[in-house]
Structure formats: structure tokens, C-alpha cells
Chains A and B, each alone.
Chain A
Amino acid sequence: MILLSLILILLVGGVSSWIVARRHTTAARWIAVASAGANLAVTIGLWIANTGRSQPSMRRWLEECNFSWISQFGIRFHLALDGLSLALLLLTYFLGIVAILSSWTEIRQRVGFFHFNLLWVLAGITGVFLAADLFVFYLFWELMLVPMYLLIGIWGHERRIYAATKFFLFTQLSGLLMLIAIISLAVLHQHATGVFTFDYEHLLNTPLSPRSARLLMLGFFVGFAVKLPAFPFHTWLPDAHTEAPTAGSVILAGLLLKTGAYGLIRFVLPLFPVPSRELAPFMMTVGVIGILYGAVLAVAQTDIKRLVAYTSVSHMGFVLLGVFAGNEIALEGAVIQMISHGISTGALFVLAGLLQERMHTREISQMGGLWETMPALSGAGLLFAMASLGLPGLGDFVGEFLVLLGAYRANIGLTAVATLGLLSATLYGLRFAQGAFHGPNVHHWSLPDMRLREWTILGSMILCLLWIGLYPQSVLNTLRPSLAAMQQSTFPQEIVRR
């Protein structure tokens, strides 16, 4: 029931915020913060309650809720929480609050509808991270699209309609292919066992012929690769990230991309262990291509948001590499990378939003020497750029390091090439920091430095990054049991070796 209430709080909060905004916009903003905050509190509560349990392997799930829904097709409203979902939910609500706070002064029109959409996206993402029934999963998967589409399309920048439509079409096409794969899996399960069901746990051990397993896996993979985004499917991302309002970019980069990675870990690996093993070298290659391609393109960008968007392609390449590397270290690294990338990239988008609000431009060439006029903001910018390029002590480093460590065991050549991505990362990170903040103030900007609200947002994000960077064990403890379970089903030999 707790899990259902997480979704309901957001849905109800969204509607009430819309209604209240007709009278009082600030109250609507506070309602939005309160709903996301309530969820954050509940999730932290769940986390604390479950950290004591060192060996929850007796039960697969920490929390569950399960109702019958469309009984003729064996569809149940089944939500379940394990360590992986818990960690990603924490990230969801944290970034949700960040997104609301960062649009406090940016969004002045249609405030109620904005927060309605924002909270409904969060509700959709919550559902995606919790669904333990493939039909319900697809439902939430699609459901988070519509409000996201509206967020980009209504409150975005110049080419918002183009970007929003492209985003929707890409994800919808890949989503429908995944739907066919989901339904086919259920049908094949019925042929094999006589039971028509969409339940995750039942479908886990569906006997499949090698050919159909491979096709179904590709169906799922396309759905997740577009969201991730993996290399050839990434073209929607720079447009959508650049045109979205700050909150939209934060949620897109911080959370929506993670749903793709989550899908790979939760569904592709355990549901299709054999083809996952077979295709792992191919998937890792795609990941490495993404790392290099995103990093190289990021170096060439002049628009801050576009630059950060391409770095996301690069960082998500690490996630893909880690997921298919076939050992637990790399998988844990991939999840750490997801979480810390969510925070560091989210912070960079917040920063870009702050700069745009003050300077009305996102071009790096228009900036320069901002340290003189905004030392605090520039310092934070430097820190997040360092986090993004993988400076030890900050979250991203841990993720990338673990991924490379694990991938090295699987494929030395690919890992060596992937390391080159870190080199380009240094290039774009330093170029961004230098071009925007250092040097002489040639354009003679004189701008207000960070306000209290902005300090709160960026300060808490810095703390989170430091925490993950310095003491990742606390997060890993939460993740380990559930990741180990998924790992075991796909790459059993690795477990034996460790």
C-alpha cells in the first residue's frame, strides 16, 4: 500500500496544485514541493527501515502491493520494491524537488499546469521503477511521456515543438515495439505453461527457443536503448534536452534516461539471459561507441545545454558497457553511474538554467570571466564540470571506475578504448569551465550571484555527489542484493568465480 500511495500522492498533488494555482501560484509551488518531499521522506523511511536487514535474500522484494486488475489476461496491478528501485526512487524525488525549486522564478506562466505535468511525470517514473507486471510497466512507461511532452512543448525554448514531437515519436515507436515483445512473451509463456500472465516473476523462467528469445530481447532492447539513449538512437536527446525548460532537462537527463538503463537491468538481463550473454560483446561495443561519440561531439558544442546533453550520451555509454560487462562490479558501477550522473548532469542543467535566466543566452562564447561577477555560482559550475569529467572524490568517478574495472575482466580492448572517453571528458569539462567562468570578463557582465534558494539546490546536490564519491558503500549495500539476484540469473559463471 505504501508503494501505491507514493504514486497517488504525486497524482493528487499534481491536480491540487493545478487547482490552487488559479488563486495563488506560490501556494501551488509549495504543494508540489510538499508532495515530492512527502515521497522523499517515505522513501528515506523505507531505506532506513531496510538497511538493518543485511540479508533480505529470503524475500525478493522489500515492499509489495498486488491487486487483480484485468483478470482475463492475467494482468495484476503489481508494484514491488527492491534495493535497485529504492535507490532510483530516492534519486527521483530528490531531483523532483530540485526541478520544482529550480523553476521557481523561471516558470511564470501557467504555473499550475506546469506543476501538474511535473508531478505526473514523477508519478509515471515512480510507476516504471516499481512495476512488477509487464503490462503495468508499459502503462507507466507510456504515461510519463505525455506530461513530459507537454513540459517541453509548452514551456520549452525556441524550437520546442520540433523537439517535443521528435521526442514523443522516437519513444512511442520504440515503446510499441517493446509492447509487441511484451505481449509475445506473454503469449509464448501461455503456449508453454497454459497460463496467460504478465507478471514479472512468472515470466522470468519462460522457456524460449533461442531464435524467439533473441528477437524478443531485441524488442525490449530497442525500447530501452532509445530512452537510454544508446548510440544510433540518441538523436532525439540533444534536441529535447536543449529545448526543454530547466526542470524538464533535469528530469529528462536525471530520470528519464535512467528508466532506460533500469529497464535493461530489470528486464532484459533476467528475462533473456541466453541472448544477453550472446549479444554482450555487441552491446558493449555499442556502449563504447556511445562513450566516444558523445564525448567528441560534446567537445564541439557551443551551447551549454547541448554540450551537457551530449555528455549524457557519453555517460550513458558507460552504463550500457557496465550492464552487459557480465560481472557484478560493472553492474554496480553502472547503477552508481546512473545515480551520480543524474545528480551531476541535473546540476549542470540547473546551472545552465540559472545562467540563461541571468544572461538570456546559452552560448559559451557569450560568457567568459563570470568568476569576477558571480564567484559562488562559477565555483559550483567548476565543481559540477569536474564531477562530470570524473574527478575522484565525486560520484561519477566511482561509477566510471567500477564500470571500467568490471569491463576490463570481460574485454580488455573495449575497456582501453572506453578509457579514451575519459580523456575527451576532460577536454569538454575544462573547456566549458574555462570558457564560461575563467579569463577576462570581455562582455562586461555584472550579474547577481546565487540566492538562498539556488544555494540550497546546488549545495544539496554537491553534498550528494561528495557522499557518493567518498562513501559509495552506503548505496552499494542497498543495491547489492537485488543486483546480485539479477546478475545470478544472467551470468551465473561469474558468481562462481568470485
Chain B
Amino acid sequence: MNAADFVALLPLITISATAIVLMIAIAIQRNHKAAVIISLIGVAGAAASLLLTASEKPRQITSLLVLDSYSRLYMAILLGAAVFVFLFGYDYLKRRHERPEEFYLLVLLATTGAMTLVVSLNFVSFFLGLELLSIALYSLIAYVRTESISIEAGIKYLVLAASSSAILLFGLALIYAVSGSMDLSQFAALMVRPTGSANAASLLTGLMLVLTGAGFKLAVVPFQLWTPDVYEGAPLPVTAFIATVSKAGMFAFLLRWFHVHDGGVAGAPGLVLTVIAVASMLTGNLLALLQNNVKRILAFSSIAHMGYLLVALLAGGPLGAPAATYYLIAYAATILGAFGLMSALSSSRCEAASIDDYRGLLWRRPFVAGAFATTLLSLAGIPLTAGFLGKFYVITAGASQSRWMLLFTLVVSSTIGLFYYLRIIVAMYSQAGGPGTDGESSTQPLSFAAILALTALTGLIFLLGVYPTPLWNAITAVTRDLG
């Protein structure tokens, strides 16, 4: 490794260094404001180093990591999402009177893990990033120790994530035993056009087991069982983190792995992923209908949204990767907005998670309700919001590769999905009444940080829904770097 390599690695180094600095700072003196400022400076530094190296050529560092424009774009997405998690977390933790400083430390570590996933070119670094992300998440989910529901969610995640890691490791072992290599590029072609060679069967088994681990992080059917409980139990900023950073990191890796310019994923992997995508879209949307807790609704809706993403991944072709990336960015902005709003509305004792907490919100706080309705409509894919253009790109990618079955499932399931988004909207405009509606959440003003973050996100949702040209150009340029 030479100096140029280190320069290319600066974003990762900056974030990890920030975590260490923060750790030392906490040891010296606990101070919430200092912790958040250090974290934000670290993220800003990492983002600045991304900008610094933006124009450089793709650089492979050892056989493990690659720093190309694709990974820079995804790192920027992750860092952006982390900033919003910090802002919401600051507000949230201040209200809950927890020991807040370690939250930032853990989020920084988890973000480092997710960034490692984005840059990895090899199953070894992939596993490293995955574990870094998972271990930080175990404690983040159970961060509010006074809530038994959080502890339960944390343990559930721990057990399931650990088992999925074990399965993934076994898959890696199989792959290495057969091929003697952990290099991602060796397996890309195999996933797309499986050949009939002798070792193909066990190699394919290994790769499928790796997919299990990836599916667990993305929470697609049938690996979704943890999602509703963890979404519900985790503190809201952490839920926002899981929904964005953790999934985006894993998806970036999958996209790098599966991406081919001509045609989509086919053969046995294609079949498996198609089944997963269809099952995720339908299961997520159908089960969300039965929920009364907004966090659980959004958990099930996230399962469905990962299914939509897989449609773009499966379609492949020149449009597949850009469409998936656009959808992911739109989804991240939207879901951050939704969880951020919920977190801002939560009181010091309990989170605003039940649908009843939102009853009559439109008449009490029109702007907050308007922003929340915007995020819900974006999730439902109504025009002028980011979610609509994301869906448009996904359908275009699918239609240009004639994936009709997936598209019809998408259409039917997103109509089902509309139903539960409408339920929340109905609650917001229906008359306030019953207990709990005139509690703290109706009166407490939003903090400056929350207003800033939510305005930015709502603006972003509209901007991405109305003027996608610059981002789309950037994404298509960047995905040309892939495979």
C-alpha cells in the first residue's frame, strides 16, 4: 500500500478515527453536546474526503477493497443517513435522559461496517464489515435499557443475526473449499449464467448460503421474522438507522455482486431471488394490513420495499442498477423522514408509535402532519414524491427486460400497501378524540435540529420527485464503473 491508497481510504479511516476519538472523549468527560459535535465533524470530514477523491479513477486496494465512484456514492448515502440519525438521536436521547454518548460511538462503528460492505470486493472484507455492523447493532437496539421491549428486541436480533452469520460463514467455507478463492468477481458470472461444471452444485450451495446472510440483513422473506419486533423494540433513531444504513450497505454489496450490463440475473439464483422478491412484496404488504403500531407497519412495509428493490436488481441491464440506486436513495430519504417525525413527536416516556397517537394530528399540527403525510405518500409512490419516481424507474427497468410477473406483483402489492398508508393518513385527519390524543406529543415544540432535519428531508423528497435529472445522471455515470 502506498500513500495514494491511504488517500483513497480516507473516508473509512476518518470515520473509524472519529469513533476512537469519541471513545477517548467519553472516557475523559461525558458531554452529550460534545459527543454529537465530534460525530458530526467526523462525518463531515469523511464526506469532505469523499469529495476530495471524487474525480479519481477506481483504485483497488489489496484484493479486498475497491474505491470507485460507485462505492463513493454509496458511502455518501450512508454518511448522509448517519447525519440524520445523529440529529434525531440527539433530540431523542436528550428527552429520554439516557446516557447518550455511546449511542454516537456505536452508530459510527456500525456506519464503518456498512461502508466496508460497500467497498468490499471479497467475501473476507464483506464478512468483516457485516460483523462490525451487526455487533454495533446488537447494543444499539437494546440501547434504552429501561424498556423491556428494547432488551427483548436486542436479544432477538442477537440470536438471529448470530445464526445467520454462522450460516453465512459455512457458505463461505464451502465456496473456499471448492474454488479456493473468495474474490467476488469470480462468482458474479456464475450467479448470472450458471454453468454445468462438476463443482457448480456445491459452489452454488455456498453462494446461496451467503445469500441467506444478505437476505437476513435486508429482511426479505423468508428471513424477515426479526423485522417487526426489532423495529418496534429499538429506539426510533436506531430503527431509522437499521432501515437505511444497514440495508443500504448490504444492498450496495449485492448490487456489486450481481451487476451485469447485459440481461439480468438468471438461472437458479435468478429463480431463488424472484421467489424471494415476490414473497417479500406480498408478505410485507399483506401483514402490514394487520398492524396497529406505526413502527410495525413501517417494518412490514420495509420488507415490501426491499422486494421492489430486488425487482430492479433482478431486471439488471443498463437500467437495473441505476433504478435500484435511485429507489434506494428515495426510500432512505423517505423512511428517515418518517422515523424522524415519529421520533420528534415522541414524549419523554413513550414513543409515538400507536396509530391513535396520530389521530387528529392534521388539525393540531398541520405542518408536522403534512410532512408525515408526504413521507407516507412517497412510500406509497404517489407522484411528485421521490417514491413515485423510484417506482417509475424500477418499473421501467423491469419492463425493458420483460419481467412481467414481477411487475404485476409489484403493482398488486403496492395497491395493497396503499391501504395501510391511507389508514395512517385517515387517522391524521380524523377528529381527535379518546385518550392519549391530548398528551405531551400534541403540545411539545420540535427542537431546532429536528425542524432542520425534517425540512431538509421533506424538501429532498419533493426535489427527488420533481427534478431527478442531476441525481440520475450521477447514478448512471457511477454504475458504469461496476462490473
| Chain B, Cβ-Cβ closest to A181 | B399
B418 contacts the other chain (CB 8 A): yes
Residues in A with CB closer than 8 Å to B400 are 187, 190
Known contacts A71-B469, A168-B418, A169-B419; is-contact A139 B383 (Cβ 8 Å) = yes
From the candidates A72, A164, A177, name the one contacting B411 in the complex (CB within 8 A): A177
- Across the interface, name the chain A residue whose C-beta is closest to B465: A139
Asked whether A153 lies within 8 Å of B411 as measured between CB atoms, the reply is no
Report chain B residues within 8 Å CB of A442. Answer: none
Among residues 42 to 72 in chain A, which have CB atoms less than 8 Å away from a CB atom of chain B?
69-72
Tell me if A165 counts as interface (CB < 8 A to partner B): yes
The answer to the question of B384 belonging to the interface, with a C-beta cut-off of 8 Å to chain A, is yes
User: Which residues of chain B have C-beta atoms less than 8 A from A149's C-beta?
Assistant: 422
User: Which residue of the partner chain B has the closest CB to A135?
Assistant: B392
**Whole-angstrom CA separation of A71 from B377 in the bound complex:** 25
Residues of A within 8 A of B124 (CB): none
Q: Do B412 and A153 touch across chains, with their CB atoms under 8 A apart?
A: no
Q: Does B392 contact A179, Cβ atoms closer than 8 Å?
A: yes
Residue of A nearest to B380 (CB): A172
A176 contacts chain B at the CB level, 8 A cutoff: yes
Instruction: Specify which chain B residues have a CB less than 8 angstroms from the CB of A180 in the assembled complex.
Output: 395, 399, 407-408, 411
Contacts of B388 in A (CB 8 A): 142
B476 interfacial by beta-carbon distance below 8 Å: yes
Residues A146 and B382 in contact in the complex (CB < 8 Å), given A173-B412, A180-B407, A183-B396: yes
Contact B429 A150 (CB under 8 A): yes
The answer to whether A70 touches B429 (Cβ under 8 A) is: no
Shortest beta-carbon distance, B363 to chain A, in Å? 8
Closest residue on chain B to residue A124 by CB atoms: B383
**Contact assessment for A72 and B383 in the assembled complex, using a CB-CB cutoff below 8 Å:** no
B176 within 8 A of A: no
Cβ of A154 under 8 Å from chain B: yes
Can you list 11 A-B contacts with CB-CB less than 8 angstroms, sorted by A residue number? A72-B472, A72-B476, A142-B382, A143-B382, A145-B382, A169-B415, A173-B411, A176-B414, A180-B411, A183-B396, A186-B396
Main secondary structure of the interface of B (DSSP, over half): helix
The distance in angstroms between the C-alpha atoms of A187 and B468, with both chains bound, is 20
State the Cβ distance, B317 to closest chain A Cβ, in Å.
11
In the bound complex, residues from chain A placing their C-beta under 8 Å from that of B472 are 70, 72
Total CB contacts across the A-B interface at under 8 A:
67
The reply to whether the CB of A73 lies closer than 8 angstroms to some CB of chain B is yes
* Cα A168 to Cα B377 with chains together (Å): 12
Interface flags for A145-173 (1: CB within 8 Å of B; 0: not) read: 11001100110000001001100110011
The answer, yes or no, to whether A138 is at the interface (CB within 8 Å) is yes
Contacts of B469 in A (CB 8 A): 69-72
Known: A70-B472, A72-B473. A172 touches B418 (CB 8 A): yes
**Minimal beta-carbon separation of B372 from chain A (angstroms):** 14
Contact of A184 with B by CB under 8 A: yes
- Assess the B399–A176 pair: CB atoms within 8 A: no
Query: B169 at the A/B interface (Cβ < 8 Å)?
Result: no
A135 to B396, CA, bound (A): 12
Would A173 and B392 count as touching, CB distance under 8 A?
no
CA distance A183 to B391 in the complex (A): 12
B189 at the interface (CB under 8 A from A): no
In the assembled complex, the CB of B409 is this many whole angstroms from the nearest CB of chain A, namely: 11
* Cα-based distance from A146 to B376 in the complex (angstroms): 12
Kindly list chain A residues whose C-beta atoms are within 8 Å of the C-beta of B363: 110
Structural contact, B429 and A173, CB atoms closer than 8 A: no
B426 within 8 A of A: yes
Cα distance A180–B430 in the bound complex, in angstroms: 34
* Chain A residue at minimum C-beta to C-beta distance from B410: A176
Q: Which residues of A have CB within 8 Å of B422?
A: 149, 165, 168
CB distance from B180 to the nearest CB of A (A): 42
Q: A139-B383, A146-B377, A180-B395 are in contact. Are A165 and B419 (CB under 8 A)?
A: yes
Q: How far is the CA of A72 from the CA of B349 in the complex (A)?
A: 49
B395, A183: Cβ atoms closer than 8 Å: yes
Rounded to whole Å, the gap between the CB of B421 and the closest CB of chain A is 10
Contact A153 B399 (CB under 8 A): no
User: Would A184 and B399 be within 8 Å (CB), given that A173-B411, A173-B412, A179-B392 are in contact?
Assistant: yes
Given A69-B469, A179-B395, A183-B392, output 11 extra A-B contacts at Cβ < 8 Å.
Answer: A70-B472, A72-B473, A72-B476, A153-B426, A168-B418, A173-B412, A180-B411, A186-B396, A187-B399, A187-B400, A190-B400
Residues of A within 8 A of B (CB): 69-73, 110, 135, 138-139, 142-143, 145-146, 149-150, 153-154, 161, 164-165, 168-169, 172-173, 176-177, 179-180, 183-184, 186-187, 190
Q: Is the CB of B414 within 8 A of A143?
A: no
Residues of B within 8 A of A186 (CB): 396
Contact B383 A138 (CB under 8 A): yes
Complex-state Cα separation, A168 to B415, whole angstroms: 9
- Per CB-CB distance, the 7 closest pairs between chain A and chain B, nearest first, are A173-B415, A176-B411, A139-B383, A142-B383, A183-B399, A187-B400, A184-B399
Residues of A within 8 A of B468 (CB): 70
Name the B residues within 8 Å of A135 (CB-CB).
Answer: 392
Chain A contacts of B418 at CB under 8 A?
168-169, 172
- Indicate whether A153 sits within 8 Å of B473 (C-beta atoms), given known contacts A142-B383, A173-B411: no
Query: Bound state CA distance, A183 and B415, in angstroms?
Result: 18
> How many angstroms between the C-alpha atoms of A135 and B388 in the bound complex?
12
Query: In the assembled complex, how far is the CB of residue B278 from the closest CB belonging to chain A, in whole angstroms?
Result: 16
Residues of B within 8 A of A164 (CB): 426
Instruction: Chain B residues near A187: list those with CB within 8 A.
Output: 396, 399-400
Kindly supply a per-residue 1/0 record for chain B positions 257-298, scoring 1 wherever the CB is within 8 Å of any chain A CB and 0 otherwise.
000000000000000000000000000000000000000000
* Given contact pairs A169-B418, A177-B411, A154 touches B396 in the complex (Cβ within 8 A): no
Q: Are B411 and A161 in contact (CB under 8 A)?
A: no
Interface centre among A110, A135, A149, A180 (most CB of B within 10 A): A180
Chain A residue, CB-CB nearest to B362: A113
Instruction: For the complex formed, measure the closest distance between the CB of A486 and the CB atoms of chain B, giving whole angstroms.
Output: 26
A186 to B393, CA, bound (A): 13
**B407 contact set on A, CB distance < 8 A:** 180
Name the distance in Å between A155's Cβ and chain B's nearest Cβ: 10
For the complex formed, measure the closest distance between the CB of B373 and the CB atoms of chain A, giving whole angstroms. Answer: 9
Bound form: Cα–Cα A104–B59 in Å: 68
Q: A165-B422, A169-B418 are in contact. Are A139 and B384 (CB under 8 A)?
A: yes
Instruction: Give the docked Cα–Cα distance between A143 and B385 (Å).
Output: 11
Q: Shortest distance in angstroms between B405's beta carbon and chain A's nearest beta carbon?
A: 12
A257 CB to closest chain B CB, in angstroms? Answer: 21
Write the B463-483 contact mask toward A (1 if CB under 8 angstroms, else 0): 000001100110010000000
Contact of A153 among B392, B408, B419, B429 (CB under 8 A): B429
Using CB atoms, name the residue of chain A closest to B472: A72
The CA-CA distance from A186 to B426 in the complex, in Å, is: 36
Instruction: Report chain B residues within 8 Å CB of A176.
Output: 411, 414-415
- B420 to chain A: closest CB distance in Å? 10
Expressed in whole angstroms, the minimum distance between the Cβ of A446 and any Cβ of chain B is 33
A161 touches B399 (CB 8 A): no
- Residues from chain B with a CB closer than 8 A to the CB of A173 are 411-412, 415
Distance in Å: Cβ of B130 to nearest Cβ of chain A: 34
Residue of A with least CB distance to B466: A69
Contacts of A71 in B (CB 8 A): 469
Q: Which residue of A lies closest to B363 (CB)?
A: A110
Give chain A residues whose Cβ lies under 8 Å from the Cβ of B419: 165, 169
- Enumerate chain A residues within 8 angstroms of B429, measured Cβ to Cβ: 150, 153-154
Task: Tell me how far the C-beta of A136 lies from the nearest C-beta in chain B, rounded to whole angstroms.
Answer: 10
- Complex Cα–Cα for A153 and B426 (A): 7
Give A149 to B472 CA distance when docked, in angstroms.
32
- Chain B residues lying within 8 Å of A183, measured Cβ to Cβ, are 392, 395-396, 399
Residue on A with the closest CB to B426? A161
Question: Is there an interface contact between B377 and A172, defined as CB atoms closer than 8 Å?
Answer: no
> How many Å lie between the Cα of A154 and that of B362 in the bound state?
11
8 Å CB contacts to A: which residues of B308-350? Answer: none
State which of B382, B396, B408, B415 has its C-beta within 8 Å of the C-beta of A73.
B396
Closest chain-A Cβ to B395's Cβ sits at a distance in Å of 5
Complex alpha-carbon distance, A73 and B473, angstroms: 11
- Given known contacts A146-B382, A153-B429, A172 and B415 CB-to-CB distance under 8 angstroms: yes
CA distance A158 to B408 in the complex (A): 35
